[in-house]
Amino acid sequence: MNTSRPFRTFLVAGPALAALGLLALALVIAVLLLTRASGAAFVLVVADLLGIAVLATLRWPRAMLVVVVLAPILDRYTIAPLIAAQVGSMAQYVSEGLLAVVGTVLLVVGLRDGRVLPALRHPATVALSAFVALGLISAQINGVPALTEAAGFFYTLDAVAIFYLCRLVGFTHRQAVLTLGAVGVAVVVMALIGVGQGLLGPDILGLEAIKGRSGESARLGSLVRNPNAFGSLIAVILPFTLFGAIRLGTPRARWLMAAAALVLAMALLLTYSRSSWLGITVATVAVAVFLDRRVLLAGIAIGALAVLLVTFMPRNLLVASAPGSGAKPPDFNIVETTGERVGNVGAGRDLRTLLVLNAIPILRDHPLLGVGPGRYGGAAADHFSSPIHTQYGTAKLLKFQQTVDNFWLHLLIEAGILGAAAFVAAIAVVVVGLARRVRQASGSHYIMKAGILVAMVASVIITGTTMGLEANMVAFIFWLMLGIGSLYATQPQPA
């Protein structure tokens, strides 16, 4: 997994790192304070932050990849609600700007060192190239405006850049562990905050809960604020803790991983994100049955304990009820709420089911190449008011939400059977290659490979009821893991 001229690991410390960190912190504080009065101040501070990103990328490229994949949590869900409304919408695109800056720096350095072509040499490149080519043909056939076409490609493929940036900088096993470990620690911290929301009150730290449509009194999303997105993040980190709880070398390390898995499972339950529950369950069972059934048993034990703790733990300890109001803290009821949701699906009242039924005539009319990029179900179609939505009555179903909440349905209708197959093939070649290497691995190599494998399978399932691969927060981490997974699939036991 090493490149011929590898970058230094991101743990290298020194005065420059400390200075950059302090300056970045000062600028973030300035964003929160100054932009309440001035939009120009926001632009100036963000420009300074991006300048710092250039210097940091030259010194610590892998650390900056971690910053990039975690940036959407800050810009969209943490910072944007705190700053002035006139620049809040601008804050949502800082992560894209950061990706562009970091990616450009790494590309320039990679061109200088001759590492760009080796990074592109992968079967996924062929599949993604076919996806783009088919999309261009579809856009021409369907008369898609150039701006809509560009937006459609951008929202679907911008995160794919992280896949190639991983291959461009290269990772040793230790560097891969540190990188995904840093992301994992961030998600565990957010899980602790999510559990704290349930225990102390949903509005701690300025957060809030969402009332569910199937009788859920409170769906918690921690710093992410979106329960389904938060559930997706937990689902891609949980497998590493489960495999670590079984496979790490020392009892202390195994117990630490088990504790992290329990916190993640509790937070996952509190999201009421059933797609995430389904995705992580199916992926863990499918992979663990073939690799290590002890992981499956550990998952069952931790999951059962998490259900008991979430069901019977005290709730809203910091929330005072009005005297004599008889107000009851929100409880956790997995059986009734899930039963109601399943009943809605079975009766055809669930919106996602209605959208699938609505999409059948569209697919029948445009089976092979779809309706063209940016024309159905995603952010681009929402921004540019797709005529397909009007023609087939989809707009009536999307009256109260922006997307179809089903990435694969969105992709199938926009790209057709051929385009969707090409996109899936780009993911499948990495997953299959990684699966072939898992049994040959041992120790932490095994944990990393098996964890990435389960996380990818879970993500594919979860995005059947979310737009995860079009939302940067989830998509960035997905393609980061897939990029590292592609390197693991190259060699059975890298140094």
Compare 344 and 176 and report the one with higher pLDDT.
Answer: 176
pLDDT tens by residue, 65-124: 988 888 887 766 666 555 555 555 555 677 888 899 999 999 999 999 999 999 999 999
Q: Which two tokens stand for residue 347?
A: 């009766």
Q: Which two tokens stand for residue 206?
A: 């300025």
- Enumerate the H helices of 121-226 as residue ranges: 123-142, 146-157, 160-169, 173-200
Compare 488 and 86 and report the one with higher pLDDT.
Answer: 488
| 487 CA to centre of own chain | 20
Task: Tell me what pLDDT residue 331 has.
Answer: 60
Task: Tell me what pLDDT residue 212 has.
Answer: 65
Out of 77-81, 213-217, 239-243, the most confident range is: 239-243
**Which among 189, 340, 197 has a CA at the least distance from the CA of 271?**
197
Secondary structure (3-state) at 144: coil
How far apart CA 300 and CA 281 sit, in angstroms, is: 9
Task: Tell me what pLDDT residue 409 has.
Answer: 96
Neighbours of 4 (CB within 10 A): 9
Q: Of the ranges 198-207, 225-234, 346-355, which one carries the lowest mean pLDDT score?
A: 346-355
The structure tokens 């089911």 sit at 353
Is 177 within 8 Å of 62 (Cβ atoms)? no
DSSP string, 223-284: GG--HHHHHHHHHHHHHHHHHHHHH-SSHHHHHHHHHHHHHHHHHHHHHT-HHHHHHHHHHH
Q: Of the ranges 20-34, 150-164, 254-268, 401-415, which one carries the lowest mean pLDDT score?
A: 20-34
DSSP string, 391-407: HTTHHHHTSS-SS-S-H
Q: Is the pLDDT of residue 8 over 50?
A: no
How far apart CA 61 and CA 66 sit, in angstroms, is: 9
Task: Tell me what pLDDT residue 325 has.
Answer: 40
Q: Is the pLDDT of residue 7 over 50?
A: no
How far apart CA 401 and CA 200 sit, in angstroms, is: 30
Secondary structure (3-state) at 449: helix
pLDDT tens by residue, 415-466: 999 999 999 999 999 999 999 889 888 889 999 999 999 999 999 999 998 9
Average pLDDT, the chain: 84
Strand partners, 219: 210
> Which pLDDT band, with edges at 50, 70 and 90, does 225 fall under?
confident
Out of 39-48, 63-72, 339-348, the most confident range is: 63-72
Mean pLDDT of 336-357: 69
Q: Is the pLDDT of residue 307 over 80?
A: yes
Residues with Cβ within 8 Å of residue 43, at least 6 apart in sequence: 90
Mean pLDDT of 16-30: 54
> Which pLDDT band, with edges at 50, 70 and 90, does 33 fall under?
low
CA trace torsion 338, 344, 345, 348 (10° rounding): 180
Task: Tell me what pLDDT residue 41 has.
Answer: 64
Q: Is the pLDDT of residue 37 over 70?
A: no
Mean pLDDT of 353-377: 95
How far apart CA 409 and CA 244 sit, in angstroms, is: 34
> Which pLDDT band, with edges at 50, 70 and 90, does 490 fall under?
confident
Is 63 within 8 Å of 10 (Cβ atoms)? yes
Q: Is the pLDDT of residue 394 over 80?
A: yes
State in Å, rounded, how far the first CA of the chain is from the last one: 8
How far apart CA 434 and CA 193 sit, in angstroms, is: 33
pLDDT tens by residue, 313-324: 888 888 765 444
Domains in the chain: boundaries: 115-316+331-495
Measured in degrees and rounded to the nearest 5, phi and psi for residue 210 equal: -110, 130
